[in-house]
Amino acid sequence: MNEANKKTLIILVILTLGMLGMAFASVPLYRMFCQVTGFGGTTQKAVVFPARVTDRIITVRFNADTHPDLPWEFKPMQGEVKVRVGDVGLAFYHAKNLNNAPAEGMATYNVTPNKTGIYFNKVECFCFERQHLEASQETDFPVQFFIDPAFADDPAMKDVDTITLSYTFFKLKGS
**Mean pLDDT value across residues 98-109:** 93
| pLDDT value for 70 | 95
- Contact predicate 145/127, CB 8 Å: no
Whether residues 20 and 47 share a domain: the answer is no
Q: pTM to 2 decimals?
A: 0.73
Whether the per-residue pLDDT at 35 is higher than 60: the answer is no
Whether residues 27 and 97 share a domain: the answer is no
pLDDT in tens, 81-99: 999 999 999 999 999 999 9
The mean predicted confidence, pLDDT, of the chain is 86
Q: By C-alpha distance, which of 162, 148, 154, 150 is closest to 112?
A: 162
Cross-strand bridge partners of residue 109: 167
Q: Which residues of 44-65 are buried (b: 16+ CB within 10 A; e: fewer)?
A: bebeeebeeebebebebbbbbe
Whether the per-residue pLDDT at 128 is higher than 80: the answer is no
Whether residues 106 and 66 share a domain: the answer is yes
CA distance 35 to 120: 11
β-sheet with 80-84: strand ranges across:
80-84, 57-66, 162-171, 103-112, 131-133
Whether the per-residue pLDDT at 54 is higher than 90: the answer is yes
Tell me the percentage of the chain whose pLDDT exceeds 70. Answer: 84
Residue-range definition of the domain harbouring residue 55: 41-171
Whether the per-residue pLDDT at 43 is higher than 60: the answer is no
CA distance 74 to 139: 10
Whether the per-residue pLDDT at 30 is higher than 60: the answer is no
Whether residues 85 and 158 share a domain: the answer is yes
pLDDT in tens, 129-170: 899 999 999 999 999 999 999 999 999 999 999 999 999 999
Largest distance between two CA atoms of the chain: 74
Total structural domains within the chain: 2
Which residues, in sequence order, are CB contacts of 95 under 8 Å at separation 6+?
72, 73, 74, 105, 131, 133, 138, 139, 140, 141, 169
Whether residues 32 and 52 share a domain: the answer is no
Whether the per-residue pLDDT at 41 is higher than 50: the answer is no
